[in-house]
Amino acid sequence: MASKTEKNTNASFFRKRWVKGLLLFFILCLLLVFLFPFGAKYYLTDWMKKNGAENASIERLWFNPFIGRLTLGGVTVESEGATRLKNADMVLDVHLSSLLKKDIRVEHGKYVGLLIDIEQYEDGRWRYGSYTTPGRKKETEIETTEDVASAWGFLADSVELENCNVHLKTPELDFTLFVESAELKRFTTHEGAREGTFTLIGKINGEDIEIVLDTVRVAPDLQIEGNIHIAKFLFADIQKTLENVLPTFGGEAGLKGNIQLKMSKTSGMNVDYDGDILITSPDIGMDGLVTNADNFKWSGKIGFKRPDDGPMHVATDGTLSTEDFTLALSGPSFTNSEGLISLSGKTEIEIDDQIRVENEGNLRIEGLKIDLPELSIGEETLSWSGKMSYSSHHEDLQHHVQSSGSLALGLTEYKTGTVGTLIEAGLENLSWQGDLSYAQHGDGSSSAINVNGTLDGNNITSFLEQQLMSFTQEHFKLSTNSELIFGEKVDIAGSSSVSLDNFQMFTGEEALPMLTLKNLQVDDLKGLGQKHITFEVLNAEALTTKVKGGFPLDITIPKIKINEFATEDMLQLNFAGLWVTQPSIISLVNGDRLLDVETIYADQIAIGEGGEINCEKIDLQRFEFLGADGERYTKPGLTINNTQLSEMSWSKANGFNGKSLEFADLVTTVIRDKEGQINISQRIAEMQLEKETSSDEDATSKEQQSTDQPDGAVDISDTEDQSERADNEASTPVKLDSIVITGESTIRFEDYTLAVPYLADLDVTKFQVGALDSGRPEQQSEIQMEGELDKRAPVRLNGHISPFQKPIAMDFVLSLKNYPLSHLSAYTVQSVGTALASGQLAVQSTMTLTDNTLDMENNVVLKKLTTKKISEELAQELDNQLPIPLDSALSLLRDNKDNIDLDIPLKGPVDDLGVGISDVLVTALSKAIVPAASGYLMYMLGPYGALAYVGMKVGENLLQVDLPPVEFDPGSSELTADHHDYLERIGKILQDRPDPDIQLCPRVGSWELMTEEEIGAVEGGTVALRDENRQALDDLGKARADAVQSYLINAHSIDKDRLLICETEINEEKETIPALILNM
């Protein structure tokens, strides 16, 4: 009963609907478990074939709902003859109870041997394995809510991949990812859970890749941290994606480091990388641009922050370097290359409404080369160490750049231009130490540069091919703390100092420099705002320059000093003082000194915008021209103890102007050597290079011209060539109020052409020239000179001169007194063989020079002159040219005070004048003797003077003096009282003139011994001489001469040797008057 009851109970249990339903569900589950894999396998195979697979097969597909395991294996999909999808084995354990919590939790997943081929076509379709998506569709925006997006969660305790291949191909890309092993642990989309990890070891396109992420989190924020190592990545693999921008994109890259990625709604995106990046053989370019390098290396940290509500921030801390980098542009041909670039340090970049960049580190560049058409730059090394910052908006500034540190350049070369116009420059090294900033105001109206530091350079060179000039600078240094503002006006403020050492300038192919400067130092250079600049002092040392050409010179200035410089507009310059110490000019031909000055000082110099110059005073101390050499030239050509020019000005329009030019203690020595050369002109000629004569005739002509001058002549003509040159030269206007010579000034003249040198000193006690104005050439300038010749003969000159008139015009009066005649003996001995033993010279001259014609009146007084014959031959030559011998002439010309007064006119074109000492003597004495003798005889002879005649003998250069004869009665030789009266006067003349002789020449008639009847018996006007009367008539004439001779000897003590008796002249004329003819 019981068992039946029990059976009924069990039967009724199974009849219950819920039990039946449960059993049915269980059966259906069993059927699902066993039949689902077969159905799914069939469906998937059929679906893949319908979606492009030529062959599809699945070896294993199994699902265990009780433990939540899905197993899939042996999947193969082929199309177009290639395997598109292949799966060796996949096992997936799913925590089923988590589904009730809307969580998809994978407790363990493992995928082995996966091969999948993914491809994108040109029309945008994607193929996954054999499945191809439809073409492009219009994108629609699907709104989702946060609740929908986060309704389900995903959890993965452990997911593993082994030996999987993923091939991705697009029109631009072709990648193959091989996963040797990969594992994802503790991954979840829930907040607050432990971070997951991810590890991957494999290859990308055959190159090793390793990713080890210690932190993988997606909620509440995305966070990834770990290490990444990519051994090699070929740029060619992504070249097609960039070909529109970079047609050339080659090379390979690798990286190894730690990466941290964080993304959140509050902090935005943060990316930090710490490691190495290596780019090898990059070759990147576009149309007209190519870049390549041996490699790029980065080692250090890179940080990127992009908050949602703040600026983007990039920070780096490490070293970026590259080797053999080149950049080339083909349009405007440009090439840039560096052997090495290394940038290390910290950099921070902030980008928002403005850009801020800050860097602290080091930069080194080696082997820099830049090539452009007609331009090349080479830099051996460039090094920078310090801080730099940039801000696109800084306060009210649009751009602000600031740096602080040191910059060093090594060997640098610069070249520009073409053949014939090449310009080259270079330096050994250049360094900068200090601060530099640049700022531009927001409206762009102005910008400012602030500089505080030191710039130092060594061995700077440059070359200008067209000018054949080169420059070298051994060292320069600039220390500055300045600000430059550029706007509507330039504003300069601050202080600086500049130093230059050993500057040289070369010209042509000369080995020696044309210009050298040992040192230039500018101290306390200040900018006082706008263009107002001052400096306290400028010092330059050892300035030398060479002047080439036919008169090559070496100019040396040991020291130059400028103090208190100032300019307010950079156009007008002012100097309180300029000192030039011991400048000298030396000939490069023979080494002689042309000019030396102890000191040149210029006071209060102003230079105007147009180049005009004004100076309060220019002072030269101890000026020496053509200095003594101690051998040939023992005395300088010119020395001036002090030269002062006051209120000087110069301009292109107005020329040179000055108030006064004053020379103190001027001493010049003019020497005429034995060859007749003037020392100054000779020394200057010796300093010039020899000129090639155009023909032998030129040389002969010059020699002949010099020999045509009379002995001892002074040529006062201007040569035709000089006149032509003067006319052709464009003159600069000159205006000067006065020229003055003061102090102990001397003009010394030495003439060694003479047997006995002539020496003369003119001590100038006063010299002054009045206003000079080349703009008014006709203006007469007053000239005054006072001095003393040979320290005893006063000299004065007064007159006017028009130096700018063409031809030059002048007039003056010259007076000379008490000049020792003995000092002129050198010239008289040389010219006429007679020395001036003693006496004094006085000269009074008036001279006018107009239209190149000289008109000169000279009154010469020889006081108490005594002479002495030195050369009989020369003295005789002079006597032959004079009416009477020189001694007689001088004796005749002396007055009762033993003085000789001569008037010597000189007139004619200056081109034709050549006057010597002998010319003066012959002309002056010849013209003076006749009137002097006539006047004297008229006075001495009294009533007999009317019968006297003095003149030149016709046809001869001899003096003819006709004294009244001593007449006698026929046949008588007795002296009467009348004879005595007349002879008294003759005796007095002979006493006053001890030098002249007198001839006593008897003249008798042939008829004197005949009676009147005998005479009357002779027909005609003549009486023939009878032979028997010849001797008696001769004796009669001699008796008359003896009577006169005896009387003069006895009565006046006249030397018998001076009373010369001639032979008796017998005249046959009946009208003959018997007489004794007196000839002087």
In sequence order, the β-bridge partners of residue 853 are 850, 909
Strands 55-64 and 573-581: unpaired
Average pLDDT of the residues in 365-393 = 86
Distance CA 1016, CA 1010 (A): 10
Question: What pLDDT score was predicted for residue 617?
Answer: 92
d(CA 835, CA 823): 10
pLDDT band at residue 963 under the 50/70/90 scheme: confident
What pLDDT shows up at residue 1004? 93
**Structure tokens belonging to residue 64:** 């265990």
- Whether 716 shows a pLDDT value over 50: the answer reads no
The span from the CA of 501 to the CA of 504, in Å, is 10
Q: Which residue has the higher pLDDT, 670 or 715?
A: 670
DSSP string, 31-67: HHHHHHHHHHHHHHHHHHHHTT-SEEEEEEEEEETTT
Helix axes 917-941, 872-881, angle to 10 degrees: 60
Q: With 50 as the cut, is the pLDDT of residue 701 above it?
A: no
Tell me what pLDDT residue 799 has.
93
745-751 and 655-672 beta bridge pairing: parallel
Mean per-residue pLDDT for 992-1015? 84
Dihedral angle at the C-alpha atoms of 706, 709, 711, 714, nearest 10 degrees? -100
pLDDT of residue 695: 45
Instruction: Label the pairing between strands 153-169 and 115-120.
Output: parallel
**The pLDDT of residue 811 is above 90:** yes
What value does the CA radius of gyration of the chain take, rounded to a whole number of Å? 63
Pairing type for strands 998-1005 and 1059-1061 reads parallel
Q: Percentage of the chain surpassing pLDDT 70?
A: 72
Higher pLDDT among residues 728 and 1030, named by residue? 1030
Angstrom distance (rounded) from CA 1025 to CA 1009: 10
Q: 64-116: per-residue pLDDT in tens?
A: 666 556 666 666 667 666 666 565 565 555 555 555 555 555 566 666 766 77
Q: Give the pLDDT band of residue 271 (cuts 50, 70, 90).
A: confident
**886-893 vs 872-881: helix axis angle to the nearest 10?**
60
Separation between Cα atoms, residue 1003 and residue 351, nearest integer Å: 144
pLDDT at 934: 47
> In this model, does residue 1003 exceed pLDDT 90?
yes
Average pLDDT for residues 906-927, to the nearest whole number?
A: 58
Q: Which one has a higher pLDDT value, 121 or 396?
A: 121
Average pLDDT, the chain: 77
The per-residue pLDDT for range 739-780, each reduced to its tens digit, is 999 999 998 888 888 777 888 889 999 999 999 988 888 899
Domain boundary assignment for the chain: 374-533, 549-687+732-753, 965-1079
Give 642's pLDDT tier (boundaries 50, 70, 90): very high
**What is d(CA 355, CA 401) in angstroms, rounded to the nearest whole number?**
11
Other beta carbons less than 10 A from residue 468's beta carbon? 12
**Section 498-511 average pLDDT:** 84
Res 714 pLDDT > 60: no
- Burial class for 443, CB neighbours closer than 10 Å (0-12, 13-18, 19+): exposed
Q: Rounded CA gap, 673 and 682, in Å?
A: 9
DSSP 8-class letter at 294:
S
Q: What is the pLDDT of residue 66?
A: 61
Q: So what's the pLDDT on residue 801?
A: 92
Ranges 67-71, 399-403, 843-847: which has the least confidence: 67-71
* Residue 1069, number of CB atoms within 10 A of its CB: 12
Provide the sign of the torsion angle of the four alpha carbons 721, 722, 727, 728, taken in this order: positive
d(CA 352, CA 552): 69
The predicted pLDDT at position 402 comes to: 87
Instruction: For residue 679, give Cα distances in angstroms to 43, 458, 671, 761.
Output: 130, 48, 5, 16
pLDDT number for residue 147: 41
pLDDT for 294 equals 86
pLDDT 10s digits, 542-600: 998 888 888 888 889 999 998 988 887 778 888 888 999 999 988 888 888 889 999 99
Q: Which of 230-234, 326-330, 900-904 has the highest mean pLDDT?
A: 230-234
Q: What angle do CA 565, 571, 574 make, to 5 degrees?
A: 25
Which pLDDT belongs to residue 953?
37
Residues 863, 840 contacting (CB under 8 angstroms): yes
The β-bridge partners of 671 are 750
When pLDDT is averaged across residues 414-430 and rounded to a whole number, the result is: 87
- Give the pLDDT confidence of 521-538 residue by residue, as tens digits: 988 887 777 677 888 888
Q: What is the pLDDT of residues 856-914, one digit of tens each?
A: 888 888 887 776 766 566 555 544 454 555 565 666 667 767 777 878 787 888 776 55
CATH code, residues 965-1079: 3.30.1330.60
